[in-house]
A and B are shown apart, each in its own frame.
Chain A
């Protein structure tokens, strides 16, 4: 069955960097767009970034643009999120999600998330 497993979260000081990974199983990554979505404690879902199925295009939420970078390794069935210049407001559970194309990439399966805490 479809599984997405995130890792790489933890406690990090403001201004530092962190790299998240998301390993997919039960399906091949290559035909799908892939998203990162986050959820701050007690808050709603916030979309972070998307990468096209072949890595040809990527888009970011304004709140992370210029600081975060999404990438993928299709042969390894793995998605990444490089997070630089982290801020306290980046504290959240980060989910990766598979994207299906239907007038745009919509998330259909989600991982269980990895918690990132930005604190001094």
Chain B
């Protein structure tokens, strides 16, 4: 089955840029989506189809995807961005959604 790998944690100072990566075999051939989950809350989609943003998501959130790595980039990080971030893809071989293990973003 397809596997997505995320670093468990990323720390960044306010105002800096956070890069959260998601690794998978030839992930560049898939559409990657990113969801954010704050403690005690439901997940919220922040990037879809590699680099598009749903309405209401700030332009500070951007995504890229190439080769074996997809990246969620958060510019000018704010305290309110502190959350768990999950990448996910559709595995067309199994018709399953596959989630990465999640990355906890800590704002120092």
Residues in A lying within 8 Å of B, measured CB to CB: 35, 37, 44-47, 50, 57, 59, 61-62, 95, 97, 100, 102-113
- Report Cα–Cα, A59/B30, bound state, in Å: 19
Q: Is the CB of A108 within 8 A of B98?
A: no
Contact between A104 and B31, CB atoms less than 8 A apart: yes
Cβ–Cβ contact B43 & A106, under 8 A: no
Residues of the B chain whose Cβ atoms lie less than 8 Å from the Cβ of A37: 97, 99
With contact pairs A44-B99, A110-B42, A111-B42 given, residues A104 and B94 touching in the complex (Cβ less than 8 Å): no
State the CA gap A111–B48 with chains docked (Å): 18
Contact B42 A113, beta carbon cutoff 8 Å: yes
Is residue B10 contacting chain A, with contact meaning CB distance below 8 A? no
* Chain B neighbourhood of A45, CB < 8 A: 35, 37, 43, 86, 88, 99, 102
Residues of A within 8 A of B89 (CB): 104, 106
For residue B96, CB closer than 8 A to chain A, the reply is: yes
Give the residues in chain B near A97, CB-CB below 8 Å: 43
In the complex, what residue of chain B is closest to A4 when comparing beta carbons? B42
